[in-house]
Amino acid sequence: MSDKHDLETVTLTGGLTITRMGYGAMQLAGPNVFGEPRDRGEALAVLREAVELGVTHIDTSDFYGPVVTNRLVREALHPYSGITIATKVGARRGADGAWIPSLDPQDLQAQVHDNLDHLGMDVLDLVYLRLGSHEGTTDESLKAEFEALAELRDQGKIKHLGLSGVSSAQLTEAQTIAPVVAIQNLYNLVNRDDDALLTRAAAENIAFASFFPLGGFSPLQHGILDSVATRLDASPQQVALAWLLQRSTTSVVIPGTSTRTHLRDNIAAATLTLPTNAITELDTIATTHP
């Protein structure tokens, strides 16, 4: 067993407390987030070691696999003592692996029940409504979709609600329906379109979970990032994660990996403090990146 880290936590609006360093289970599925893992034993070991190292914030979804990661999470971690399981609804997968938006209110409720079944839970800790694509957000109304989830919250099937791929206007609309405790949007050293939303989230004590914190399918690469990492005797990935954690008081990260070696490297970023001059340099990447 690995040594447990004393990971920093954040307590959000609504009273939910999670570690700011989380773990995203997406990469446990097969290639292109589809099918069974390359190494099932290692996938289970990664999940268990994440918790052993102090992570209490596990991010997953039925549409990873599909269902593959939720079943792995259940096998590895059930009954989830002291762990917050965050999941997402709003999409399904085609037989060819295609991502198919599925935002019909009735189907959203069906997806919640599917997640409950596959995770082996009576109540889901945190459910994100996934709206936007990786290409950006819109200001389209989410009233019917979010009301469907709020109804299940009122019924006791969901403890907390979040939004993924959303704009500030959509957050405002959602808050007239039910409390929002977390946002999950594309944000990293290069993709900084949501700077204002990140600042707003901190002011309202809402978690801002950056998906693709290390670039996702196009890993972050930049000379400045490499230079700062070398000076700090850290990896570029650790520096990128530490930068996110220092962006605001409610920034959280959910880096994913399918190996214990990379998991340990990622979690070590939680204890890396970037000096002011390094942050100044890193902040220029968004404007200098091609």
Contact by Cβ (8 Å): 139, 169: yes
What are the φ/ψ torsions at residue 32 (nearest 5 degrees)? 60, 30
- CA 255, distance to chain mean position in Å, is 7
Judge whether 23 counts as a catalytic residue.
no
pLDDT for residue 1: 42
pLDDT for residue 43: 98
Contact by Cβ (8 Å): 259, 206: no
pLDDT for residue 183: 98
CA distances from 46 to 49, 130, 243 (A): 5, 25, 24
By residue count, the chain amounts to 290
What are the φ/ψ torsions at residue 285 (nearest 5 degrees)? -65, -40
Q: Two tokens at 72?
A: 């792995």
- 65's torsion region: left (phi>0), alpha (psi -120 to 50) or beta? left
Domain spans, the chain = 9-218+249-258
Whether the link from the prior residue into 79 is cis, omega within 30° of 0, is yes
Contact by Cβ (8 Å): 88, 61: yes
pLDDT for residue 135: 65
- Residue 78: what residue type? H
pLDDT for residue 27: 94
Selecting among 64, 80, 128, 187, the annotated active-site residue is: 64
Contact by Cβ (8 Å): 125, 86: yes
289, 203, 188: which is closest to 243 by C-alpha? 188
Say if residue 118 is exposed, middle or buried (CB neighbours under 10 Å; 0-12, 13-18, 19+). buried
CATH number of 9-218+249-258, picked from 3.20.20.100, 3.30.470.10, 3.30.450.20, 3.10.20.440: 3.20.20.100
The CA distance from 255 to 213, in Å, is: 6
pLDDT for residue 290: 52
pLDDT for residue 6: 85
65, 67, 69: which is closest to 24 by C-alpha? 69
Give 87's strand partners. 127
- pLDDT tens for the chain, 290 residues long, are 455 668 999 999 999 999 999 999 999 999 999 999 999 999 999 999 999 999 999 999 999 999 999 999 999 999 999 999 999 999 999 999 999 999 999 999 999 999 999 999 999 999 999 996 666 789 999 999 999 999 999 999 999 999 999 999 999 999 999 999 999 999 999 889 999 999 999 999 999 999 888 876 667 788 899 999 999 999 999 999 999 999 999 999 999 999 999 999 999 999 999 999 999 999 998 766 55
- 156's torsion region: left (phi>0), alpha (psi -120 to 50) or beta? left
pTM: 0.95
